[in-house]
């Protein structure tokens, strides 16, 4: 019994079939009760009517004759139905009865139609005094009606069982075929691993819920495949950027082991190079940790920030660090609700990017403006620009456009900026023309925000 229960619970098809059959059987049983009750009521009403008609016919026959012969068999025949039992009394004495009564004698009853038992058989009976000392008693045995109802009940039970069995068989086949895509989906889920993320479920049939489920599963697989490839690229890029400084450190370490200790020039060169490689590794690890922290949706300390003051500080710092690039700014008082440290890092990454990939003696302009309900910060450079096909991947981690963009960066700056700006409910848009320059536009909701408070978690 327990195994059967577990088997039923493990199959949606079986459960749906049983539920369907239970509903069908319940409906058929209710319909059967209605049919039997209705037929019983109709047959009883018909028998009742026959009794009343018989009494009325006998009464009319006797009233039309001056000296009626109560023993005349035709008087009983005129009652109108051979199924009826009739007794006629004259002055309380039985003078005539229908032949089909045999040895049965009806109990004396004067009143409307009612049901009684005679020799264990249900009978409808009624009696009436029609005058001149004449009393007529008519009964209708319900044997034929009860037999008909019994046969009808048996037939209905047989039909119910047959219909239920047919419904169970056809329902199970239908449900199994309907849920076939679900079985395929289950098998695919079990088969899929990191090496089979490119597999998809073949979509066919009507666009019902199961079709949409398979379609959603394919879309999920596509997202997983892209995410897994992105993760692989991320790991490969991070490993490459870590391996380069490690290789440098290892090489100079081997050099020092051989003869660097006795050569002051080699010793100083080795120490300086190892220091630079270590700083590069430290910067990469710090950027990775910061990116992980930003992607985990940290708690943001929102304050009212003046965009003009922020841009002026960043522009002055950038100009001080850049010797060959002219950094200018033009701004106005615009206020946003932001974490100033995070926002500064995002804007600085964009400015730093504009300086790194600029032409010699090029220019970087930082502008602010209002556009609708947003404060917009434009970082414009006269650099080498970005090819159109590279724009969709520009904000991916470790992505670098091509070999012409050689710098000391790791390809994390733009990704960090995008994450931070989105944390603040904003976005970054890019316009670029290859070999002419680029414009990065940062959109931030103006202060005060519609729904956001201090120390909110976004």
* Banded model confidence at residue 6, pLDDT cuts 50, 70, 90: low
Q: What percent of the chain has pLDDT over 70?
A: 86
Indicate the SS3 state at residue 134.
strand
User: What is residue 141's three-state secondary structure?
Assistant: strand
pLDDT score recorded for residue 209? 76
pLDDT digits (tens, 9 = 90+) for 344-390: 989 998 998 899 888 888 999 999 999 999 999 999 999 888 888 88
Nearest to 356 by CA among 430, 406, 283: 406
The model's pTM is 0.51
More confident residue, 445 or 297: 445
User: What pLDDT score was predicted for residue 453?
Assistant: 40
pLDDT at 5: 57
In this structure, the number of other CB atoms found within 10 A of the CB of residue 280 comes to 17
Three-class secondary structure of residue 417 per DSSP? helix
> What is the pLDDT confidence band of residue 216, given thresholds at 50, 70 and 90?
confident
| Range with lowest mean pLDDT among 196-205, 231-240, 296-305, 404-413 | 404-413
Do 396 and 415 touch, CB atoms closer than 8 A? yes
The total number of residues shown for the chain amounts to 458
Domain 197-296 has CATH 3.30.470.10: no
Residue 439 DSSP code = E
Q: Please check the confidence at residue 450 and state whether its pLDDT lies above 50.
A: no
Instruction: Please give the class, per CATH, of domain 299-445.
Output: alpha beta
Start-end ranges of CATH 3.30.565.10 in the chain? 299-445
Question: How far, rounded to the nearest angstrom, does the alpha carbon of residue 82 sit from its chain's CA centroid?
Answer: 69
Residue 458 has pLDDT above 90, yes or no: no
pLDDT 10s digits, 287-338: 777 767 766 667 778 899 999 999 999 999 888 888 789 999 998 999 999 9
Name which of 143, 208, 160 is nearest 28 in CA terms: 160
Assess whether pLDDT exceeds 70 at residue 7.
no
Inform me whether the pLDDT recorded for 410 exceeds 90: no
Apex CA 236: angle with CA 234 and CA 238, to 5°?
A: 65
Q: Which CATH number fits domain 2-168: 3.30.479.10, 3.40.50.150, 3.30.450.20, 3.30.56.10?
A: 3.30.450.20
Q: Which segments of the chain belong to CATH 1.10.287.130?
A: 197-296
Residue extent(s) of CATH 3.30.450.20 domains in the chain: 2-168
Who wins on pLDDT, 403 or 8?
8
Q: What is the pLDDT of residues 51-72, one digit of tens each?
A: 998 888 888 887 777 777 777 7
pLDDT of res. 337: 92
């Amino acid at each position: 019994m327990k195994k059967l229960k577990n088997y039923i619970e493990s199959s949606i098809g079986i459960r749906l079939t049983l539920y369907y059959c239970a509903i069908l059987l319940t409906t058929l049983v209710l319909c059967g009760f209605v049919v039997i009750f209705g037929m019983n009521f109709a047959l009883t009403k018909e028998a009742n009517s026959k009794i009343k008609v018989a009494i009325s016919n006998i009464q009319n026959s006797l009233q039309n004759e001056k000296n009626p012969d109560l023993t005349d068999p035709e008087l009983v025949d005129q009652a109108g139905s051979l199924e009826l039992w009739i007794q006629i009394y004259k002055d309380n004495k039985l003078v005539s009865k229908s032949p089909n009564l045999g040895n049965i004698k009806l109990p004396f009853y004067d009143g409307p139609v009612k049901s009684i038992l005679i020799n264990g058989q249900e009978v409808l009976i009624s009696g009436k005094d029609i005058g001149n000392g004449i009393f007529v008693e008519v009964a209708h045995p319900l044997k034929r009606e009860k037999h008909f109802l019994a046969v009808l009940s048996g037939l209905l039970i047989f039909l119910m069982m047959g219909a239920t069995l047919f419904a169970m068989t056809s329902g199970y086949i239908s449900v199994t075929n309907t849920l076939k895509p679900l079985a395929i989906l289950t098998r695919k889920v079990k088969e899929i691993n990191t090496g089979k993320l490119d597999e998809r479920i073949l979509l066919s049939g009507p666009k019902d819920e199961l079709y949409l489920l398979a379609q959603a599963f394919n879309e999920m697989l596509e997202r997983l495949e892209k995410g897994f490839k992105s993760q692989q690229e991320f790991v490969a890029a991070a490993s490459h950027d870590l391996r380069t400084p490690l290789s440098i450190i290892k090489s100079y370490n081997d050099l020092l082991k051989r003869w660097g200790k006795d050569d002051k020039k080699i010793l100083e060169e080795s120490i300086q190079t190892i220091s630079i490689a270590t700083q590069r590794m430290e910067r990469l690890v710090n950027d990775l940790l910061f990116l992980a922290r930003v992607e985990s949706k940290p708690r943001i300390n929102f304050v009212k920030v003046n965009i003009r003051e922020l841009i002026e500080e960043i522009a002055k710092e950038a100009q001080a660090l850049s010797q060959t690039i002219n950094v200018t700014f033009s701004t106005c008082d615009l206020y946003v609700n932001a974490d100033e440290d995070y926002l500064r890092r995002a804007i600085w990454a964009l400015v730093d990017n504009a300086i790194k990939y600029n032409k010699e003696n090029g220019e970087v302009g930082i502008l602010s403006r209002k556009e609708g309900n947003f404060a917009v910060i434009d970082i414009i450079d006269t650099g080498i620009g970005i090819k159109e096909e590279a724009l969709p991947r520009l904000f991916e981690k470790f992505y670098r456009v091509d070999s012409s963009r050689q710098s000391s960066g790791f390809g994390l700056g733009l990704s960090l900026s995008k994450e931070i700006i989105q944390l603040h409910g904003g976005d970054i848009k890019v316009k670029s023309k290859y070999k002419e320059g680029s414009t990065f536009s940062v959109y931030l909701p103006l202060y005060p925000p519609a729904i956001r408070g201090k120390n909110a978690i976004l």
